[in-house]
Amino acid sequence: MTSKQTKAGKLGEQITGAEALIRGLEMENVDVMFGLPGGCILPAYDPLLKSSIRHILVRHEQGAGHMAEGYAHVTGRPGVAMVTSGPAATNMVTPLCDAFMDSIPMVAITGQVSTSAIGTDAFQECDTVGITRSITKHNELVMSAEDLPMAIRQAFHIATTGRPGPVLIDVPKDVLQNTMSWNWPTDDEVADSLPGYKPNTKGHTRMIKEAAQLILRSERPVLYVGGGVLRARAADALRALAELTQIPVVTTLMARGAFPDDHPLCLGMPGMHGTATAVTAMQKSDLLIALGARFDDRVTGKVNGFAPDAKIIHVDIDPAEQGKVRKPDVPIVGDCRLVIEEMVKAIQELLQGGTPQADLNPWRSRVSGWREQFPLTYEQSEPGGALKPQFCLEKLRDAAPEGTILVSGVGQHQMWSSQYWRFNEPYTWVNSGGLGTMGFSVPAAIGAKVGRPDKTVWAIDGDGCFQMTAQELVTASIEKIPVKIGILNNSYLGMVRQWQEMFYDERYSEVALSPDTPNFVKWAEAMGCVGIRVDDPSEVEAAIDKANSINDRPVVVDFRVDAREIVYPMIAPGTTNDAIMLPPSQSPRKEFLK
């Protein structure tokens, strides 16, 4: 910035730290933030009154964090949450860790007790930077108002570049109250202030060529696509690579939507509850092209039995992911979009130069054989029988307007959502993958709707998850954020129940939730939402149509579903992916997976 005037004010102008903080956020083009005021952060809430930034007042600080995440998921812009010190900061811990695990760009601002009180166990004091050190990409306690602009610039720079992640700025109350001389560091000054931070975005040319040769040579390749492809806005590049090479694609839980589910090359989700085709294609592969994926244990199963014959090309912007779980044959550090684009060029050059691609026809016919034999399936309910959760999802999917964003909590409903939805566009799927945070979906859906008000946002939640963060629907009602929540209510902690059924001899311990308490319809109504209860399959479509027609307030649909339903396929923990458990109707055909 060369002019003497930033868009938010004159350089050198004497303002308070609080004013500098809000100005700084405006300078970073923050249009909305999620938060809840309290003692130490109070000074920052005064200049907010005259700011262009929309502030959404949450009912619990954890909600602010997940809303910021939901916003970031669907917009690609950093989500911003602001809360006070002590308990508010500790309530922010779960969303920070969630964003850290799933590489979500996020900036959290926490109040802190005055500098003179730090370390004295003052009222609402906690060691916020200490507590959040290992769950943020970076954090900083700002000890002088003069330093705030640089801290803000660094926070946004670090949160959004390289492997994205959450950054926390902890601001003592007196730093907000003190006067400072307004300044706004230039890009160069920011870079100079971070001599150790230089993310490598451009992949190594020789390694990309090597990868291209390996891709053309391999006979059973699979594109193993992770969330990094979405973070890098690389969906178009990925599609070009897949279509050029005709290599089948699996999209992990974090990458659903990065490649269209209705594309003939898409095999769906791999992993513990992935499709039999995706899981088996990886197991039998001779080359896994891992793009922004991190070989998570939920994908690999028992690591030493994972894709035993596969060579590995591993593209990731974070060098520490390479070799962390599985040693790559061709490691490429870089931004997925840039690297994939270069990879496409390198393959085209080789093809034009006369290098042939191995014949993939035998592989493709093997893969389509699996696909025919092992589609996702569940047993339809008998007439008058219990409502199936998968059926609800299919109906929701079929009635959803184009481009609907689906948000989920964590558990059985999350897996069914990922399995039964059709994700054909990137950034239409929001969930808590790495941390597995129950209660994520209601606030994340609110954040997503704030980020994309033009889109329909459905949250699929479990009754267990819903009871953790449902109070944010009050926020949604008051702030006029019309999200739609479908509770797949089986009155159980369903995934835990499933594990107890399968691995603890049906000894159900502390998993039953009360079927009639709370009354979800009344609860929804008490929070200003429309509440609808669905008990019978015949009522599903009408209820969904009604929910889709309401756009002036949130809607909660309480689907009373069959508690006995199990998520299939499943790979039991500690076993290899070859030991995939198929739904009962398919297990007699298991030998076809050879």
The set of catalytic residues is: 61, 123-124, 173, 495
CA distance between the termini of the chain = 62
Alpha-carbon gap, residue 543 to 541, rounded angstroms: 5
CA-wise closest residue to 161 among 317, 339, 340: 317
Residue 162 beta carbon to other proteins: minimum distance, rounded to whole angstroms: 9
Alpha-carbon gap, residue 167 to 158, rounded angstroms: 7
Alpha-carbon gap, residue 445 to 453, rounded angstroms: 11
CA-wise closest residue to 527 among 36, 32, 59: 59
DSSP annotation of 224: E
Residue 196: Cβ-neighbour burial (10 angstroms; 0-12, 13-18, 19+): exposed
Residue 90 or 161 with smaller CB distance to other proteins: 161
Residue 151 or 307 with smaller CB distance to other proteins: 151
Which phi and psi angles does 249 have, rounded to 5°? -120, 135
Residue 38 or 203 with smaller CB distance to other proteins: 203
Alpha-carbon gap, residue 124 to 547, rounded angstroms: 42
394: tokens are 């299919």
Strands 457-462 and 405-408: parallel
Residue 128 or 431 with smaller CB distance to other proteins: 128
Convert 477-490 to b/e letters by CB count within 10 Å (16 or more is b). bebebbbbbbbbbb
Residue 137 or 284 with smaller CB distance to other proteins: 137
Residue 157 beta carbon to other proteins: minimum distance, rounded to whole angstroms: 10
Alpha-carbon gap, residue 291 to 398, rounded angstroms: 30
**Ranges of H-type helices in 59-165:** 61-75, 87-91, 93-101, 128-132, 148-160
Residue 369 beta carbon to other proteins: minimum distance, rounded to whole angstroms: 39
Residue 168 beta carbon to other proteins: minimum distance, rounded to whole angstroms: 12
* Concatenated DSSP letters of 383-439: TT-PBPHHHHHHHHHHHSPTT-EEEE-SSHHHHHHHHHS---STT-EE---SS--TT
Residue 68 or 141 with smaller CB distance to other proteins: 141
Question: DSSP 3-state assignment of 28?
Answer: coil
Contact (CB, 8 A) for 472 and 446: yes
Strands 5-6 and 9-10: antiparallel
Residue 128 or 475 with smaller CB distance to other proteins: 128
Cβ-based neighbours of 115, under 8 Å, separated by 6 or more: 143, 172, 174, 175
DSSP annotation of 585: T
Residue 312 beta carbon to other proteins: minimum distance, rounded to whole angstroms: 15
Strands 138-141 and 106-112: unpaired
Residue 85 beta carbon to other proteins: minimum distance, rounded to whole angstroms: 17
| Binding-site ranges for other proteins (CB under 8 A) | 129-130, 133-134, 137-138, 141, 143, 158, 194-198, 200, 318-320, 322-324, 331, 333
Alpha-carbon gap, residue 519 to 410, rounded angstroms: 21
Residue 196 or 354 with smaller CB distance to other proteins: 196
Residue 304 beta carbon to other proteins: minimum distance, rounded to whole angstroms: 16
Alpha-carbon gap, residue 200 to 232, rounded angstroms: 13
Alpha-carbon gap, residue 312 to 448, rounded angstroms: 35
Cβ-based neighbours of 510, under 8 Å, separated by 6 or more: 493
Residue 158 or 214 with smaller CB distance to other proteins: 158
Residue 158 or 488 with smaller CB distance to other proteins: 158
Alpha-carbon gap, residue 232 to 76, rounded angstroms: 9
Number of neighbours of residue 373 by Cβ within 10 angstroms: 15
Residue 65 beta carbon to other proteins: minimum distance, rounded to whole angstroms: 21
Residue 139 or 475 with smaller CB distance to other proteins: 139
Alpha-carbon gap, residue 580 to 280, rounded angstroms: 9
